[in-house]
Amino acid sequence: MSGIPLQPRIIYGPILSRRLGRSLGINLLPVNRKVCSFNCVYCQYGEGKVDDSGKNFNDFPSVSKVLDAVRHAMKKPRTIEFLTFSGNGDPTLHPDFVEIVQGVLSLRKELRPETKLGIFTNASRVHEPGINMTLQLFDLPMMKLDAGDEGTFKAINRPAHSIRFQELITGLKSLPNLMIQSLLFDGEISNVRGDSYEAWANLLAELNPKLIHIYSTVRPTACAGVEGVSLQRLNAIAQDLEKRYQLKVMTFD
């Protein structure tokens, strides 16, 4: 199934985010293709070839181009609550991700010290020391975790062959400021019932993140048969996690 259009530039927004308020998006990836090491069944950008990069960076924006765009956007007189790394895939796949984050932090200190820094990542590189240390610099480092076992992980997220589930989990455990985002859905593949749900819930308890965001799909998905779940059901799941494991969970419709 086809999805929503890709972001056509480095900076987008500010948008009124369901979770972050007024967020200025930063897209580090090409504007003509999705670059992601996952090919999630629910992806809003539709089906795509799994890409863990390392090959073709010719169409990635340069460090200077990204920082110039961020500086220009931050100078405009408007409310920005978050600077958020997201965009057309996974931002950590940019070859100069670490350098760019350091540059954006310097710009924030200079121009908007009150603005928070966020990232939405699939966590596929969280085990790498340089990436891990950089993710610790974010105010809101949201790591994707939709599954608690390898089989469900492969069925939902359809990762590149180089991605190892246990390696990802080890990386998550090493983040002192760990925050998790999980997209929950039903259908032929599901993470809201049965063994898949229990494995996910138990892994969250083991990870014990500072915060968990759970939500469902509200946009077109890559695959047919992905069924969104209601806010009422999300709230019931949040209550289950809070009661059983004393986890802090927020739900979003």
Angstrom distance (rounded) from CA 155 to CA 174 = 25
Closest CA to 51 of 26, 80, 16, 88: 88
Domains of the chain, with CATH numbers? 11-184 (3.20.20.70)
> Within the chain, what is the greatest distance between any pair of CA atoms?
50
Q: For residue 249, which amino acid is it?
A: V
For the chain, where are the alpha helices, taking DSSP H only? 63-75, 97-111, 129-135, 150-157, 165-173, 194-207, 231-245
Tokens 């969250």 belong to which residue?
204
Can you give the pLDDT at residue 20? Answer: 92
- How confident is the model over 171-223, as pLDDT tens digits? 999 999 999 999 999 999 999 999 999 999 999 999 999 999 999 998 778 89
Query: Can you give the pLDDT of all 253 residues of the chain as single tens digits?
Result: 456 889 999 999 999 987 899 999 999 999 999 999 999 999 988 877 787 655 678 899 999 999 999 999 999 999 999 999 999 999 999 999 999 999 999 999 999 999 999 999 999 999 999 999 999 999 999 999 999 999 999 999 999 999 999 999 999 999 999 999 999 999 999 999 999 999 999 999 999 999 999 999 987 788 988 999 999 999 999 999 999 999 999 999 8
In terms of Cβ atoms closer than 10 Å to its own Cβ (0-12, 13-18, 19+), residue 100 is buried
pTM of the model: 0.94
